[in-house]
Structure 1
Amino acid sequence: MITFIIGLVILFVGAALYGRFCEKVFGPDDRKTPAYTKQDGIDYVPMKKWKNSLINLLNIAGTGPILGPIQGILFGPIAFITIPIGNIIGGAMHDYFSGMICLRDGGTQMPDMIRKYSNKGVYGVYQVFCSLLLLLVGAVFVYTPGDIAATQVFGFDGAATSVSTWVIYGVIFAYYLIATVFPIDAIIGRIYPVFGAVLLFSAIGVFIGLFVQGYPLVELWDNWNGPLVAYGDYFGENHFIPVFFITVACGILSGFHSTQTAIISRTVKSEKEGRMTFYNMMIVEGFIAMVWAAGAMGVYNLGLQSADPALATATIGVVCKNLLGSVGGIIALVGVIVLPITSGDTALRSLRLAIADTFRIDQTSTKKRLALSAVIFSLVAAILVFAKMNANGFNVLWRYFAWSNQALSLFAFLAISIWMFEHKKEKFVWMPLIPGAWYAFVTITYIANAKIGFNIPWTGAYIVGVCAAVAYVGVILWYGKNRAAAVK
């Protein structure tokens, strides 16, 4: 377990250092936050730091930091190092600056942030892209918790033809509607502490169980090809870059997170709470990803579960029940179910807010919020039915979700870079540009090669990816310098 422990040290020590550095660069002060200046009792509501932090964690941590690492650990123990490094300099930095800029700018949503720090063309592309992603998130985060609950908690078959499957989906949908429409402190602010307790039991319980049970983990310096799992062969044959960084997704970086941190920017009491609320909660998600990567590797090495990416959902149940027993395992499974549900509800809430802000649709009355939500939920339901009724429907849905999730972060990194130029912090622009350039390469290379994309051979896809990354950095530097000169 030495590599795993080294990874955890990198994660927590690196977070303490780089998180403080991010805070210093941004410069939080004592100005009144939008929670007070725009207080409306619905979306702009002052809430305590611990509650904001917990809500933000539950908002951002869906099934990505569990299913992603379970599949990504097949690339071997290198995952225990790349997850924390990427999380610290990429994901957590992305979440912190996205949340803080939206907070400083009056509790704006991400579309407004993109509009302010780019141009109409980029903003238009982002609006379409973001709306589609949030619809996909809504559908995925009904599908995955619904199926886990049906098959591993209640013992149903989870089939598309079973009434029980659609009843469970319907219950989740009903909760999403309530959480989307009613004031944030009336539903989310009250129920999330309970969800948070179950989540923490799940993550910490699995973490402790790894050591108590003595799960066998492969070290970086070991032979990666064991008797049951050939991690080395998988690493060599499946293009670690870019496939690993698309697969693991949320444990390292998620563009979806910026849409969620913007929601919390409307309930934060002080800018100085931002590092805990935004940066550190992404670090906690990285910890969750590390724990589940280790748990999956352990059950694969013990032969308790086949190392098949298609069986990632089943692996969750095996890890929970083997480490925590029947009762503890069920509680841990409930914690896993909580993650996507508490991301799906706020994904649809943020989509409602973004559409309302864009088209200036008044949301002060319940009737108007219900009317807009009805349109959104109808679209999500249609996507869900397609995914469930088609044999390969969910695989297609998940692949588009994973890729678009990472690609969305490029817009946030762009906006953060331009914000730095406009606020005389251009010497720090390398902070968003490094992960931005990396993920421009990763996402473009992946979609260029993928069958759901352009199906270009790998050599050509890599060339396209490199060109895209260079162009991404070049355009941002050019545009940023022009914007900086214009505000002087």
Structure 2
Amino acid sequence: MLWFLTCVAALLAGYFIYGAFVEKVFGINEHRKTPAHTMADGVDYVPMSTPKVYLVQLLNIAGVGPIFGPIMGALYGPAAMLWIVIGCIFAGAVHDYFSGMLSIRNNGASVPAITGKYLGNGAKHFMNIFAIVLLLLVGVVFVSAPAGMITNLINEQTSMHVSMTFMVVIIFAYYILATIVPVDKIIGRFYPLFGALLIFMSVGLITAMAFSSEHHVLSNFKVTDMFYNLNPNDMPLWPALFITIACGAISGFHATQSPLMARCMENEKNGRFVFYGAMIGEGIIALIWCAVALSFFGSLDALTDAVNHGGPGNVVYTASFGLLGVFGGVIAFLGVVILPITSGDTAFRSSRLILAEYFNMEQKSLRNRLLMAVPLFVIGAALTQVDFGIIWRYFGFANQATAVMMLWTASAYLLRHNKLHWISTIPAVFMTAVCITFILNNSTLGFGMPMQISTLIGSGLSLVAMIVVMVKSKGKGEMNSTEQDSNLPTA
């Protein structure tokens, strides 16, 4: 338990110490009007209170990633918790802060437009394709996962019998509605309540385990175990752990979500709490589920068996009902189900806005919103027929590759403003090496090359990327960072 509490304390300290440092490096201007005021349209640009924006941001970024990812990462042992803490403070929260604040500085622009401005048109076109693909994969994953969990819950706990296809249709119908209506009608109104449920569920689970006579938090592990790979299947920790645990440590999906709340935030001074703080909140959720997975089943072999007989969803179901009983288990399980649903709808909403931005099509009229949204849902519905495991693997790599591009964008911005770029460059170098090594080594998604060669190439290319960004960005200069950075066109 002490190790878990130390990890949580480290995340909170990271917010107050390193988060404040990142904010100072960026240089906020609380007197500048944000896009929520200057571009208010009653649909996507709508001023909302800071607590509400924070809770919506937390739900937007916290899909099944900070639950399923840490559960799968727990198979490597306590090393997973170490990566959640370090990755969240120095990579994920930095990534989320810049993706949100650069959007604010650029009229609420989406991540491809921001990337194009600071890294060039080639990067913009790459990000347009990658972001849309990633968001479609997220939308599909976040349809299939909650549909399966709800179906299992109803069939296991009641005498009713529903099909997963029926639940997929219901969730898709909700997604269509949430994607096209004004942001404050559903997302802004109900998500803060869901956010409170999420926090209650997470705290309830770890509290129940702390006072349980049968289960003890991390009692089967030593602190030194965090430096070793304990995977019972002998799966290599490098680089797979850093792809497996995405949303709980760093996630490119967040870069597509932050502009949604950048369009609703009332003042730049709230950026650290909303963007950096929401990532810290997600990191705590990830720590809770990693600790539950490591502790509830008693051993890594038993955890592996639970994963093999129903995936991480089975771990969620078993632990929730085992720790909280039927009533508490239902509440906790519904809290987990809400996460992917509240990220799936915003994934499709982000896709609509990115496409609208690309085609320069205003989104105030319902007709234009439907023109952008309907094709996305048709493609998404077709992808639900693909095996979930395949979709999840591609999602993991696409997710981290998108994060890499956002981190390099942040570095280019800081270099142009002669600011301390290393706060984003160091995690960008690391994650570039992770992604390249993974795709070169992985035999299913990539090229199946030997690990040593893949690592050497990945490390070398990450350093090349750093040199290219530094050379292209240094000395270009821009207007002072306290001024409006650009007038990028927005939807």
TM-score between both structures, scaled by the size of structure 1 = 0.92
Match of 2:287 in 1: 290
For residues 122-201 of structure 1, the aligned pairs below 5 Å read 122-155=123-156, 164-201=163-200
- Further displaced range: 186-195 or 39-48: 186-195
Cα offset, 1:220, TM superposition: 3.7
Q: Secondary structure at the match of 1:326?
A: helix
Cα offset, 1:303, TM superposition: 8.9
1:232, 1:109 → 2: CA distance? 38
Match of 2:487 in 1: none
- Further displaced range: 299-308 or 341-350: 299-308
Offset from partner CA, 1:300-358 (integer Å, 9 cap, x none): 21699542444311000111111111100111010001101111111110110010011
Offset from partner CA, 1:199-254 (integer Å, 9 cap, x none): 12211111211211152414344679xxxxxx854279322111111111110000
For residues 12-51 of structure 1, the aligned pairs below 5 Å read 12-29=12-29, 30-51=31-52
Offset from partner CA, 1:121-165 (integer Å, 9 cap, x none): 1111111111111110010000001101111344399xxxx9621
Identify which of 253, 257, 262 aligns with 1:256.
Answer: 253
Gaps of 5+ in 2: 482-491
2:475, 2:264 → 1: CA distance? 34
Q: Secondary structure at the match of 1:237?
A: coil
Q: Given the alignment of the two structures, is residue 211 of structure 1 paired with residue 213 of structure 2, yes or no?
A: no
Q: Given the alignment of the two structures, is residue 480 of structure 1 paired with residue 482 of structure 2, yes or no?
A: no
Match of 2:484 in 1: none
Structure 1 residues 418 and 384: CA distance shift in structure 2, 3 A: same
Offset from partner CA, 1:142-200 (integer Å, 9 cap, x none): 0001101111344399xxxx962111111111111111000000111111122122212
Cα offset, 1:79, TM superposition: 2.0
Match of 1:407 in 2: 401
For residues 28-427 of structure 1, the aligned pairs below 5 Å read 28-29=28-29, 30-155=31-156, 164-213=163-212, 214-217=215-218, 218-221=220-223, 232-234=229-231, 237-301=234-298, 306-308=303-305, 309-310=307-308, 311-385=311-385, 387=386, 393-425=387-419
Structure 1 residues 153 and 304: CA distance shift in structure 2, 3 A: farther
RMSD: 2.2
Identify which of 432, 445, 449 aligns with 1:452.
Answer: 445
Structure 1 residues 452 and 36: CA distance shift in structure 2, 3 A: same
- Fraction of identical pairs, as percent: 39
- Please tell me the residue identity of whatever aligns with 2:431: Y
1:193, 1:6 → 2: CA distance? 28
- Further displaced range: 454-463 or 399-408: 454-463
Tell whether the 8 Å contact from 2:77 to 2:230 is kept in structure 1 after alignment. Answer: no
Gaps of 5+ in 1: 225-230, 388-392
Q: Secondary structure at the match of 1:234?
A: coil
Q: Given the alignment of the two structures, is residue 435 of structure 1 paired with residue 427 of structure 2, yes or no?
A: yes
Tell whether the 8 Å contact from 2:216 to 2:295 is kept in structure 1 after alignment. Answer: yes
2:210, 2:299 → 1: CA distance? 14
Structure 1 residues 305 and 335: CA distance shift in structure 2, 3 A: farther
1:384, 1:339 → 2: CA distance? 18
- Further displaced range: 344-353 or 209-218: 209-218
Offset from partner CA, 1:426-470 (integer Å, 9 cap, x none): xx1101111101100111101111121111121221122111211
2:78, 2:415 → 1: CA distance? 38
- Please tell me the residue identity of whatever aligns with 1:365: S
Tell whether the 8 Å contact from 1:91 to 1:254 is kept in structure 2 after alignment. Answer: yes
Tell whether the 8 Å contact from 1:19 to 1:279 is kept in structure 2 after alignment. Answer: yes
Match of 1:228 in 2: none
Tell whether the 8 Å contact from 1:216 to 1:301 is kept in structure 2 after alignment. Answer: no
Cα offset, 1:299, TM superposition: 1.9
Cα offset, 1:22, TM superposition: 1.1
Offset from partner CA, 1:384-438 (integer Å, 9 cap, x none): 12x2xxxxx211110000111011011111111111122221xx11011111011
1:297, 1:49 → 2: CA distance? 35
Match of 1:4 in 2: 4
Structure 1 residues 304 and 335: CA distance shift in structure 2, 3 A: farther
Cα offset, 1:366, TM superposition: 1.1
Cα offset, 1:85, TM superposition: 1.2
Tell whether the 8 Å contact from 1:46 to 1:269 is kept in structure 2 after alignment. Answer: yes
Tell whether the 8 Å contact from 1:92 to 1:279 is kept in structure 2 after alignment. Answer: yes
Structure 1 residues 432 and 304: CA distance shift in structure 2, 3 A: closer
2:54, 2:360 → 1: CA distance? 29
Structure 1 residues 59 and 487: CA distance shift in structure 2, 3 A: closer
- Please tell me the residue identity of whatever aligns with 2:169: G
Q: Secondary structure at the match of 1:251?
A: coil
- Please tell me the residue identity of whatever aligns with 1:357: E
Structure 1 residues 194 and 216: CA distance shift in structure 2, 3 A: closer
Match of 1:227 in 2: none
- Please tell me the residue identity of whatever aligns with 1:133: L
Structure 1 residues 472 and 324: CA distance shift in structure 2, 3 A: same
Q: Secondary structure at the match of 1:117?
A: helix
- Please tell me the residue identity of whatever aligns with 1:132: V
2:375, 2:78 → 1: CA distance? 45
- Please tell me the residue identity of whatever aligns with 2:380: V
Cα offset, 1:120, TM superposition: 1.2
2:199, 2:154 → 1: CA distance? 19
TM-score between both structures, scaled by the size of structure 2 = 0.92
Tell whether the 8 Å contact from 2:99 to 2:406 is kept in structure 1 after alignment. Answer: yes
Tell whether the 8 Å contact from 1:150 to 1:164 is kept in structure 2 after alignment. Answer: yes
